[in-house]
């Protein structure tokens, strides 16, 4: 008899008592050296145990708006399988997949990244699921999985999500507005069996982008003023940021920051719902009150994940894509050999688009053409680093003066993938988007045309000069990166098969 079968023939079943189940997860999140963070959602309050042959971590769930979660820190001494018990009944691993494994992580040799993963009947094959199938078939696991935005699409709902909303309330729009509806959105997004297994055994770090809240989120002050007039928006932004805190942000943090977090302490004490909502509302109204950016060091490699959405400063004439700029500059300027910076939005676009965004920002502040330029900004999504000219110029200064001998910028958002390199410097922009949500044909042609005409803008002065060497590719894909002291190998994978590769 298997260990799971033996556990589940215990007294809970004999007496007909309800047994808690896993709803989402387990997800292996941040691994700091020999300490692994594991996150999960359960169907009811319960005692959770995560164990290996030589270590155990036990903790009770905490409740957020009627949903139940736990974040545990498991000591890791070697590469070993782990299992999960809820109230003493083993619920993980599940049959049909290899065991979920935890292992120490002191260096970063291989990682996989991507963005824009939409679930539902449209969108083509899920590149992350295809990658997971390959890894489940005895493939070597990467050290890290990075999700660079749009983990959920709160503004492009599937038929199943619309049905859920209509079943649970009979008024209001077909929009995600409550924490409960966001919880269902995450459940649907993270329930694919192969992706669930992959995230249970590969450390996964995340940052949000606009669709996690709504398309064009924080594009401009005019966008915020328009959304403030929408009756359901205040509840939506509170629920979106609150659920992001629970589902994504907590697993990004090292243990000492979680232990010092007053919001998490209040949730664990059983009276945190109001505190979480207040925190989310304040984070939206005052970007400086919350830091969603974070970093992790792997020996002489630093991973910096930058929030280029929630922390924006949008006052005309003072626009910044990152609000916490002093922290960002200090973190990016560390004395390391390799700097890997994740930002949902690319800094180095096809130069025709780059200069269009810089011009548009100027035009939006012009009294004569400002209204038309603002309409164009929102219609064409002209909101990347180039659309925040002081931020872009400061980023260029930081990157070109950083001590790191190798700098990789990882991004998504634009729904095509490519490699751009700064001329004469070891600074590379790697873009991978979408995991599952390809552009339609007209937008593909428009972006390919912009990339092809990039040479027309070389005479325009810029604080960085770069060239697109590979791509653009428009299919669903993830990107695998291998770091050695001598070189960087990059492979773009569509449906599990290589689409393009480059040694840097």
- pLDDT value at residue 38: 98
Q: Could you give the residue ranges of the DSSP H alpha helices within 286-413?
A: 325-332, 351-364, 370-380, 389-401
Contacts of 78 (CB under 8 A, 6+ apart): 54, 103, 104
pLDDT score, position 452: 56
Q: What is the CATH number of domain 107-503?
A: 3.60.21.70
pLDDT, one tens digit per residue, over 135-180 is 887 778 999 999 999 999 999 999 999 999 999 998 888 999 999 9
SS3 category, 70: strand
Residues of the chain with CATH 2.60.40: 1-103
The pLDDT assigned to 179 comes to 97
> Taking phi first (over 0 means left), then psi (-120 to 50 degrees means alpha), and beta for anything else, what does residue 210 get?
alpha
Tokens of 117: 């993963």
pTM of the full predicted structure?
0.93
Alpha carbon 56 to chain centroid, angstroms: 28
Q: Which residues contact 163 (CB under 8 A, 6 or more apart)?
A: none
So what's the pLDDT on residue 181? 97
What is the predicted pLDDT for the residue at 451? 55
Gap between the Cα atoms of 306 and 197, Å rounded: 27
Q: What is the pLDDT of residue 15?
A: 42
Q: Angle, to 10 degrees, between the axis of helix 370-380 and the axis of helix 351-364?
A: 140
Q: Is the dihedral of CA 335, 102, 76, 86 positive or negative?
A: positive
Q: Where in the chain is the domain with CATH 3.60.21.70?
A: 107-503
Token code pair at residue 38: 């594991």
Q: Both tokens of residue 246?
A: 């629970």
Residue segments in the chain with a per-residue pLDDT below the cut of 50 = 1-16, 457-460
What is the reported pLDDT for 19? 83
Written as one string, the DSSP assignment of 97-163 is SPPPEE--B-S--EEEEE--B--SSSSSS-HHHHHHHHHHTTPPPPSEEEEES-SS-TTS--HHHHH
Are 342 and 331 in contact by the 8 Å Cβ rule? The answer is: no
Q: What distance, in Å, lies between the first and last C-alpha atoms of the chain?
A: 52
Domain 1-103, what architecture? Sandwich (2.60)
Q: Are 217 and 210 in contact (CB under 8 A)?
A: yes
Residues 6+ apart with CB under 8 A from 497: none
**CA–CA dist 478, 114 (Å, integer):** 5
Q: Which helix (H) or strand (E) covers residue 458, if one does?
A: none
Residues 6+ apart with CB under 8 A from 459: none
């Amino acid at each position: 008899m298997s260990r799971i079968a033996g556990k589940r023939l215990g007294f809970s079943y004999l007496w007909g008592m309800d047994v808690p189940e896993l709803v989402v997860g387990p997800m292996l999140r941040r691994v700091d050296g020999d300490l692994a963070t594991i996150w999960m959602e359960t169907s009811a309050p319960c005692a959770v145990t995560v164990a290996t042959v030589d270590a155990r971590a036990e903790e009770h769930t905490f409740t957020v708006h009627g949903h139940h979660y736990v974040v545990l820190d498991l000591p890791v001494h070697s590469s070993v399988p782990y299992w999960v018990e809820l109230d003493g009944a083993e619920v993980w691993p599940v049959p049909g997949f290899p065991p979920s494994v935890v292992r120490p992580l002191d260096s970063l040799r291989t990682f996989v990244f991507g963005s824009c993963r939409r679930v539902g009947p449209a969108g083509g094959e899920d590149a992350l699921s295809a990658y997971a199938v390959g890894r489940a078939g005895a493939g070597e696991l990467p050290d890290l999985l990075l999700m660079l935005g749009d983990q959920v699409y709160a503004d492009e709902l599937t038929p199943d999500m619309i049905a859920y909303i209509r079943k649970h309330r009979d008024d209001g729009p077909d929009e995600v507005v409550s924490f409960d509806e966001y919880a269902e959105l995450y459940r649907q997004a993270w329930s694919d069996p192969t992706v669930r297994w992959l995230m249970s055994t590969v450390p996964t770090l995340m940052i949000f982008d606009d669709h996690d809240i709504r398309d064009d989120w924080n594009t401009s002050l005019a966008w915020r003023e328009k959304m403030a007039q929408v009756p359901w928006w205040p509840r939506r932004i509170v629920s979106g940021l609150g659920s992001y805190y629970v589902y994504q942000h907590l697993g990004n943090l090292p243990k000492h920051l979680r232990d010092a977090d007053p919001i998490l302490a209040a949730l664990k004490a059983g009276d945190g719902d109001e505190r979480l909502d207040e925190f989310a509302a304040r984070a939206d109204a005052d970007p400086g009150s919350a830091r969603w950016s974070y970093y992790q060091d792997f020996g002489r490699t630093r991973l910096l994940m930058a929030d280029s959405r929630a922390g924006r400063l949008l006052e005309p004439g003072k626009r910044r894509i990152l609000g916490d700029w002093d922290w960002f500059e200090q973190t990016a300027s560390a004395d390391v050999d390799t700097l890997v910076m994740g930002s949902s939005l690319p800094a180095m676009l096809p130069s025709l688009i780059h200069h269009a965004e810089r011009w548009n920002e100027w035009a939006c502040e012009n009294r004569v053409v400002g209204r038309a330029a603002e309409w164009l900004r929102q219609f064409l999504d002209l909101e990347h680093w180039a659309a925040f000219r002081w931020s872009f110029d400061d980023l260029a200064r930081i990157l070109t003066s950083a001590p790191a001998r190798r700098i990789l910028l990882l991004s998504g958002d634009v729904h095509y993938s490519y490699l751009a390199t700064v001329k004469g410097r070891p600074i590379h922009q790697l873009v991978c988007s979408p995991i599952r949500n390809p552009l339609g044909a007209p937008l593909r042609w428009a972006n390919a045309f912009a990339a092809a005409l990039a040479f027309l803008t070389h005479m325009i002065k810029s604080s960085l000069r770069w060239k697109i060497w590979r791509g653009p590719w428009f299919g669903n894909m993830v990107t695998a990166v291998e770091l050695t002291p001598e070189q960087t190998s990059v492979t773009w994978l569509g449906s599990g098969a290589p689409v393009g590769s480059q040694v840097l």
